Chains A and B, each alone.
Chain A
Amino acid sequence: MFGTATERQHASPPRRADELVDITLPDHEGRVVRLGDLWRDRPAVLVWLRHYG
């Protein structure tokens, strides 16, 4: 229902960002950003929002 999981899952963050590094996403202006570039020169804090609102 509403895309909910039928069985309880556990959050499973990885130890390294290897699966994230080459993913590209558009930003709020449509510019494409490669995630690995975000921590190329300094640490990055990534925050995944549940919702825009």
Chain B
Amino acid sequence: MQLHRDRASFAEAGARLVLIGQATPPHAAHFRRTQGIDLPVLADAERLTYKAAGAKVATMDELLGPLVVAKGVMAIAKHGVFQGRTIGDFAQLGGAMIIDIDGTIIWSHMSEDASDIASAVHILAALQSNRLSAPARPGPAVDGV
């Protein structure tokens, strides 16, 4: 997973990188093992944070329409981002946000269809182009993350 491979760049940019998935802690643990990642993964089986983040639920055309499938293939080729096994709501889309220490969302990319995925490259570029209010310094640990 590209986010995992770029985790040092996120740390250098002074940000804490956390993944959220729509299933249970055992599913999250399985995902970490099978993907070989050590990033923290939160389990949101009720999709509370998906709703609060403004993530959308896709139509069938936004999941499997010809244009979406073609864009998805391009994304796989370009960024190595690919669809994994389906656990949770089939039509729930995801996204990414950068949240500053005062709670301001300084950048976001919530998916408009299944092929519209924020890549690690895009997120890192957003991190580096936005002035963050917090210095890249260690702070009190948050359990597990």
Closest Cβ of chain A to B67, distance in Å, is 14
Kindly list chain B residues whose C-beta atoms are within 8 Å of the C-beta of A17.
Answer: 97, 99, 103-105
Report yes or no: B101 in contact with A41, Cβ–Cβ below 8 A: yes
Taking a contact as CB atoms closer than 8 A, the residue among A9, A18, A39 that contacts B57 in the complex is A9
Q: A40-B139, A43-B99, A48-B50 are in contact. List 18 more A-B contacts (CB 8 A).
A: A5-B56, A11-B54, A11-B110, A13-B53, A13-B108, A23-B48, A23-B49, A26-B43, A31-B143, A41-B134, A41-B139, A42-B16, A45-B96, A45-B97, A45-B98, A45-B127, A46-B18, A48-B96
Q: How many inter-chain residue pairs (CB < 8 Å) link A and B?
A: 237
Kindly list chain B residues whose C-beta atoms are within 8 Å of the C-beta of A6.
Answer: 59
- The interface on chain B, measured as residues whose beta carbon lies within 8 A of the other chain's beta carbons, has a size of 83
Pairs of residues from A and B, 3 with the lowest C-beta to C-beta distance, nearest first? A53-B84, A41-B139, A11-B110
A41 (CB) vs chain B CBs: closest residue: B139
Chain A positions near chain B (C-beta within 8 angstroms): 1-21, 23, 25-31, 33, 35-53
Report yes or no: A29 in contact with B25, Cβ–Cβ below 8 A: yes
Report yes or no: B96 in contact with A46, Cβ–Cβ below 8 A: yes
Closest Cβ of chain B to A33, distance in Å, is 6
Kindly list chain B residues whose C-beta atoms are within 8 Å of the C-beta of A39.
Answer: 16, 99-101, 103
